A and B are shown apart, each in its own frame.
Chain A
Amino acid sequence: MKEPASENKPKIGVFSLTGCAGDQLMILNLEDTLIELLSKFEIKSFQEASSYSENIRLDIAFVEGSVSTEHDLEKLKEIRDKSSLLVAIGDCAVNGCVQAMRNSQTSIAERMLDVYGVEDNIYRALEPKGIGEYVRVDFEIPGCPVEKEEVFNTLISLLNGDPPLIPDYPVCVECKLNGYPCVIIEEGKPCLGPIITAGCDARCPSLGLDCVGCRGPIKGETNAKAELEALRKRGYPDKYIINRLRFFAGNFPDIRILGERKNSKGEK
């Protein structure tokens, strides 16, 4: 089949804010289909793949990483301005991920002092947040990191003019569809599956492990109080449960208030 002329291919860019670059890596991990897949697009920026970069208007921008500094924020706004569609890839971009686990518990000044020994915010750090806190986001692909199949299907959907299909139901659904025994009910493990976005095909429960929540809670759906209650009943202390919930989801409204420090300028 003849490839469309390059001017007809959607122009895309893949960008990184604060994160481990693992989501970019997952795109590159689409090894079997990568060349053919990416040949359907014109790649104008993709730091992890190439030093080549062109600063022009994009059809789709993919952004990984959280906004954790003023610099991130400036970069994000610039990307938004020059892109027709903005897709958040990975938990960091969706919700702040692990960087946000101590949000509302310690101040930036305290963190600076702990890590760098000075209170001054020399790196212009912000409390880590997902990109949707600052700019309009068209689609979000959760995951820490994203599932490469989900990236593949998202690219194909967008190419075909469809909105990508991202699960908005919890991991429990995938356990049941696969017939995996419930590790909460059968083994009393502290599984976060009931509140965490599916899409991993219940990878951890398939191995008898409890879900740690790496794909983040389902927006607008998560019943964090119920999770706290269900794990309390199975003998887990509040501190353990709250830390576990905050690990990937510190910015989530229902979870943020758990373990929140009343006076954020108080003692260390």
Chain B
Amino acid sequence: MYKKLLKDDLENFIFILKKFGVVHAPVREAGRVYEFTELTDSKILQLNYTRTMIPPKKFFLKPKEQLYILNRREGFKEIVDDSKIVLLGVHACDINALNLLDRIYIDQFPDRYYKTRRENTIIIGVSCKPDEYCFCTSTNSSYALEGFDLFMHEIDDSYIIRIGSLKGFQIVCESENLLAEASSNDIKEFKRAEAERLKEFTLHLNVNGIQDILDASYDHPVWQENADICFGCGSCNLVCPTCRCYDTADFLNLDLKTGVRVRRWDSCMLKQHGLVAGGLNFRPTRVERLYNRFNCKMSLSEDSLNCVGCGRCTVYCPADINFVEVLKQVGED
């Protein structure tokens, strides 16, 4: 079942979405990067954005958050945020990245905070056009098959809408007056738009056997060359939609009896990431950390890469290290 929404009706559609939760969408204020923020006015919505600096994983695994209130006498109390949110305008790469995080934070190591927020959030995808940093076709993440409630594909003056969940279906029912059945001509347009989009990708990376290639290239000079210009600042990890390491710390109050446990995103490019009890660091140098990061991104999590080809690590690297370029150098020489 494919539906069609006229762009002219988008504002009304957003009005309906608000019944399901607080709508957050890509917005860019003057001089700033695109970011998912609360959509207070649909006029500021920018559905044709390139990429947000911080991926939508920030809604599920928060950049920094309080986990528990600690109390020596009464034990600890979890702080669970169960607010209802609608994320409008999530790209396919980011949805595929969330599917990957789901396997870890819901299936493998259930995390109550992540799971609660995932269950309370409606995800509405939107189709996109690649820029020179996008390579999601190479990582098999340019199209979302699951992990969303609705997915909107732009064609001319409207969107073709795919339904991905029961909640998505409920939204469709609520928006009956705004949505039409997609006609066979609309479907033809949808197919054409998708084929056109694929042709627009200019960046490609051959990931065939890349795990072995990297494994066998520990000594490749490219690692040291890039470690020499790398700050080890962690920006690449912190903007990555699939990076999922975090660090926790306890902060006590003055009474030394109560306090709070916090966690924040961590980065394997930072020195303390490899620091373990006793003072041993299993990745003491920047070159080891850099090599590890590239390996991690190109390794498999079940059957998908730990990279969705969004291009953020290259775009937001202050040292201008080009992720795809480094991998090509390793693969080709």
A contact set with B: CB distance below 8 Å: 1, 33, 36-37, 40, 153, 156-157, 159-160, 165, 168-170, 172-173, 176-179, 181-182, 184-187, 191, 193-195, 208, 218, 220-221, 223, 225-227, 229-230, 233
Residues of B within 8 A of A159 (CB): 256
| B318 in the interface (beta carbon within 8 A) | yes
Please measure, in the bound complex, the distance between the C-alpha atom of A230 and the C-alpha atom of B233, giving whole angstroms. Answer: 13
Of A40, A165, A170, the most chain B CB neighbours within 10 A belong to A170
Contact A156 B256 (CB under 8 A): yes
Contact A194 B54 (CB under 8 A): no
Contact A208 B228 (CB under 8 A): no
Contact A230 B319 (CB under 8 A): yes
A-contact bits for B254-265, CB 8 A (1 contact / 0 none): 111000000011
Residues of B within 8 A of A193 (CB): 233, 318
Contact A184 B318 (CB under 8 A): yes
Contact B231 A226 (CB under 8 A): yes
Q: Total contacts A to B, CB within 8 angstroms? A: 111
Of A193, A194, A229, the most chain B CB neighbours within 10 A belong to A194
Please measure, in the bound complex, the distance between the C-alpha atom of A223 and the C-alpha atom of B230, giving whole angstroms. Answer: 7
Contact A227 B231 (CB under 8 A): yes
Residues of B within 8 A of A220 (CB): 271
The residue of chain B having its C-beta at the shortest distance from the C-beta of A191 within the complex is B318
A-contact bits for B213-235, CB 8 A (1 contact / 0 none): 00000000000000011111111
When the two chains form the complex, which single residue of A156, A181, A225 contacts B53, counting CB atoms closer than 8 Å?
A181
Please measure, in the bound complex, the distance between the C-alpha atom of A187 and the C-alpha atom of B272, giving whole angstroms. Answer: 30
Of A157, A178, A230, the most chain B CB neighbours within 10 A belong to A230
| B145 in the interface (beta carbon within 8 A) | no
Contact B318 A168 (CB under 8 A): no
Residues of B within 8 A of A160 (CB): 252, 256
Extra 8 A-B pairs, beta carbons < 8 Å, given A168-B271, A184-B318, A226-B319: A160-B252, A170-B234, A179-B35, A179-B58, A179-B63, A182-B318, A194-B235, A223-B228
Chain B binding surface SS class: loop
Contact B231 A195 (CB under 8 A): yes
Contact B235 A182 (CB under 8 A): yes
Please measure, in the bound complex, the distance between the C-alpha atom of A170 and the C-alpha atom of B58, giving whole angstroms. Answer: 20
Residues of B within 8 A of A225 (CB): 228
Say whether, besides A181-B33, A186-B33, A221 and B318 are in contact (CB < 8 Å).
no
Please measure, in the bound complex, the distance between the C-alpha atom of A194 and the C-alpha atom of B255, giving whole angstroms. Answer: 36
A-contact bits for B229-244, CB 8 A (1 contact / 0 none): 1111111001100000
Residues of B within 8 A of A165 (CB): 249
In the assembled complex, 18 residue pairs joining A and B whose CB atoms fall closer than 8 Å, in A order, are A156-B253, A159-B256, A169-B234, A170-B233, A173-B234, A173-B238, A173-B267, A176-B53, A176-B234, A177-B238, A178-B63, A182-B318, A186-B32, A191-B318, A194-B233, A223-B230, A223-B231, A226-B231
Contact A176 B252 (CB under 8 A): no
Please measure, in the bound complex, the distance between the C-alpha atom of A191 and the C-alpha atom of B233, giving whole angstroms. Answer: 13
